[in-house]
Every structure is written in C-alpha cells, then in structure tokens.
Amino acid sequence: MKRIIILSLLILCGCSSLPPNISMESQTYQTDNVEFYYDLTYKKNDIIYTEHRIFNQMEKIIENAEEFIVMDVFLFNNLYNASEFNFPKVSSGVKKALIKKKREDKDIKIYFITDEINTFYGVYNTKELEELEKNGITVILTDLTETNGANRFYSTFWKYFFSWFGTGEHGWLPNPFSPEAPKVTIRSYLKLINLKGNHRKVLVTEKEALITSANPHSASGYHSNIGFKFHGGIINSVVESEKAVGELSAIEMKLPAVEFANEGEYKIQLLTEGKIGKALDSDIDDSQNGDEIYIGMFYLGDTVIVKKLVAAAKRGVRVRLILDENNEAFGMKKTGIPNRVTAKKLIDKSKGRIEVRWYRSSGEQYHTKLIVIKTFDEVIINGGSANLTKRNIRDYTLDTNIRVVAPLDSKLAVDIEQYFDMLWNDDEDTYTIEKEKLEDGYLSNKFLYDIQNISGFSTY
C-alpha cells in the first residue's frame, strides 16, 4: 500500500501543466510610451532619505481611470511591529485612492487581486481588504491550488491529503508578520510551506499600465524599487493575463478590449512566470563580445542564469551587478543567501570578469528586479516583479515582467542607464559599496543554498 501511495505521488508530481494564460508570452507590440520610475532609500551625511515615485504613479493611474481598474499585488497590509518600526502607510494611500475612485464613479469596475498570505491563508481578514469590499470593489484572493509548487512532492501531498481540511479560524500560533497581528493556525502554516505565491505587481486601466517590483505594503515602504508605466495595445495582453489569475479563483473579470495604434519606437512584450526565464536565457545567450549586461536584483539564485552570465563574461560581455545583501527582511536577520553565494560563484567562475557592487541598506531592501542588455545598436530591458530565482522565472510563483527593445538614444534607454550609473559610479558610497570577504561562511551557506535549490524549500 505504501508503495502504491508513493508511486501515485511521484506520478502526480510529474504533472506540470498550467492553467491557460498562466506563463504567457504576448505578441510584440510597438509604442512610443514607456516610462521608467524608481524609488530609492539611501543615507547621506547620516540622514536617511526616501524618494517615492512609483507609489505616486499608482495613485495617479487610479485617479485617471474611467472604465476599469485591475490591481494585482503580492503584499497589501499594514501589519508590522508598530512598537519598533515606523513605516510609511503606503497600502493605506492606495486603498484610499481606490475607494475614492469607486465612490466618485459607481459604474467603474475595480478588481483587486492579492495573495492569500495577506490573510494568512484565510485565518483572518485585514482592515484594508474589508474596506475595499465594503465599497463595492471586488477582492480576489488568488487560489493557487492548480499551480506548481517549488517542492513538488510536498505540494502534491498537501493538495490531495490536506487542502480539503481548510486552514481554520481562531488561531493560537504567533503570526510571522507581527506579534501584534492576529494569531494563526497549524493548518495555515502547512499551507504556507507550499511556498506558492502570487508575486505580481500590476496595475492596469483602459488607458495605461504599471508593472513594478514595488509592493504597496507598509513594511515594504522604504524599499528601493523600479517600475515601468506604458500605453499601447499591450494593455490587452496585461488584462488577459490578469483575467487568467481571476479564473484560478473561479471569478470571471468582465473587461472590454481597448484599441491603440500599434506603432512607436519601442518594441514591448508581456512576459509572465516561466516565459520570463526563457526570454532571459535567449537574450543572455545572444549577447556578444563588446555588449554590456547590467543587473539590479534583490534575489539572484537561479543556477541557469548564473551559468549563462559566466559564459557571457567569458565571451567578452561586460557584466555588472548591483545586489541586495540579503541581510534583513522586515527587521529579521538573514544569512545572505542566495546573493552571497551566487556573487562569489560569478566572480570566481568568471575569473573576476563579472563585477559586483552591493546596495548600501539602512535596514530596507534593494528590492529591484531589472536586467538590461546593451548591444551596439539597441537596449533590451527586462523588468518587473520577478527575482532571478527558480521560483520566480521557472513556472512556479506568479510573476509579471515586461521586455522592451529600445533604441540606444531613446529616453527610456538613457533614463535607465543614468539610474544604474548613478548607483554604480558612487565614489562616496552613498548608494552602493564593494564587498570583500565573501568567502566568510561561504561553505556552510553554499551547502544550504544547494539543499534549498534541490528541495525547493527556500524563501527565495
């Protein structure tokens, strides 16, 4: 009997088909309207500065909508240890903007999609989500039962033997978000370690769209992020990709197609889930001697990308990376995995050709997800919500990026290069620093990194 159960689980673990329009690669559109934004937190003369541009754009996009709004974000709550931290209440700002728009126009359709982590998988509701619902906004908690889990064996076992129990109410275990947050249940923790997530950060209306690395989440309010606002026919693909997320939760989002002229200097594609990884694999492989690759990244852990970057450097491609140190997450200390391990591997295996700098954090995260490939005649930009990890770009976690091919002298290409150079060419160490002694703790970190990659049990 045991053998039958194990064999059945192994067979089910091998099933990896995804629902329609999950893992999407859109057609290539053309537009003249792609804008780059960034948020930064940095210390200068012992004073910490925070520049918010992305959250301001979110509120403007909501204000300008007339027919519909779809917002899909991973983290959206005000839960944190208020006695120790004083975070900006960015989730409240977005919530108020959505409610204001709905009160002004009762006919506008607003769908707010988020991950179940915000309710700790249904154990409680949050004030923010309750207020959205009370004001006629459709809230969708993403049902990820039919998507792939990074640890296939556990996720399959949970799906067929535990999922039908639910997660329960009246929790008694501590909440990992905050000691002041509602307590949770054992069953909710069992669902948590599926390690599935809707990690997207998308805002789309009939007029424009924003794809970003930024969560409108108070405890993430000081993080440094990037985002892209754009117009054009690609909006229809963004809407279709979000309808697919609604369908995972058995909710049909009735939204009209929009018409735009398909012309302009930028070639733009929507990429989600595993299609992000495939596009990056191909673009990095195509890079040649004399090209440049520069990357700003919160998590770099995908072993395929690491190998391809080393191979590119050996071909004569200049590769530069700005990475988060992975030392802290919402006040909790971390080990530096995966970035300390992958950075050392990249430097060693490329024999020093790959250059790495580290964002100088004051407790917040360098939460950016941006990859740029500069050739002799164009710039290829890939950015959005996806970290360079197996979970984010190999058909596990839900993520959304855009891929843009831009002329070298275009405003978009120039803006992004100026952003990266500002952080890289930093003589005063305001933004980034060099990091030595990556070998400290490397063997133990590498062992843990390898186990996590093989098993799928990791926080990245």
270 in the same domain as 220: no
SS3 string of 2-54? HHHHHHHHHHHHCCCCCCCCCCCECCCEEECCEEEEEEEEEEECCEEEEECCH
70 in a domain, yes or no?
Answer: yes
316 in the same domain as 244: no
**Joined tokens for residue 296:** 């700003």
- What is the amino acid identity at position 358? W
336 in a domain, yes or no?
Answer: yes
Distance in angstroms (rounded) separating the CA atoms of residues 158 and 174 = 22
229 in the same domain as 305: no
Query: Which of 215, 248, 281 lies at the terminal end of a domain, its last residue?
Result: 248
Which helix (H) or strand (E) segment holds residue 113: the answer is strand 109-114
CATH code assigned at 364:
3.30.870.10
Q: What is the pLDDT of residue 7?
A: 45
Residues with Cβ within 8 Å of 352's Cβ and at least 6 positions away in sequence, in order, are none
209 in the same domain as 106: yes
34 in the same domain as 143: yes
The number of distinct structural domains making up the chain is 2
381 in helix, strand or coil?
Answer: strand
236 in a domain, yes or no?
Answer: yes
Q: What is the pLDDT of residue 169?
A: 83
444 in the same domain as 342: yes
Range of the domain at 394: 266-455
278 in the same domain as 204: no
Q: What is the pLDDT of residue 14?
A: 47
11 in a domain, yes or no?
Answer: no
52 in the same domain as 152: yes
Q: What is the pLDDT of residue 330?
A: 62
- What is the amino acid identity at position 153? F
Q: Could you say which residues of the chain have pLDDT below 50?
A: 2, 4-12, 14-15
Beta strands in 189-327 (DSSP E): 201-205, 209-212, 225-230, 266-272, 292-297, 318-323
Write b or e for each residue in 257-285: b if 16 or more Cβ atoms lie within 10 A of its Cβ, otherwise e. Answer: ebebeeebbbbbbbbbbbbbbbbbeebbe
Q: What is the pLDDT of residue 2?
A: 47
Query: Closest Cα partner for 185 from 161, 168, 197?
Result: 168
172 in a domain, yes or no?
Answer: yes
10 in a domain, yes or no?
Answer: no
By the 8 A CB rule, do 218 and 76 touch? Answer: no
**Joined tokens for residue 223:** 């993080």
Q: What is the pLDDT of residue 436?
A: 72
Distance in angstroms (rounded) separating the CA atoms of residues 412 and 405 = 10
pTM of full prediction above 0.85: yes
- What is the amino acid identity at position 437? K
271 in the same domain as 244: no
72 in a domain, yes or no?
Answer: yes
Distance in angstroms (rounded) separating the CA atoms of residues 137 and 106 = 10
146 in a domain, yes or no?
Answer: yes
391 in the same domain as 312: yes
266-272: strand order across its sheet: 29-31, 266-272, 400-407, 378-384, 369-374, 292-297, 318-323, 355-359, 432-433
317 in the same domain as 182: no
Distance in angstroms (rounded) separating the CA atoms of residues 81 and 63 = 31
232 in the same domain as 344: no
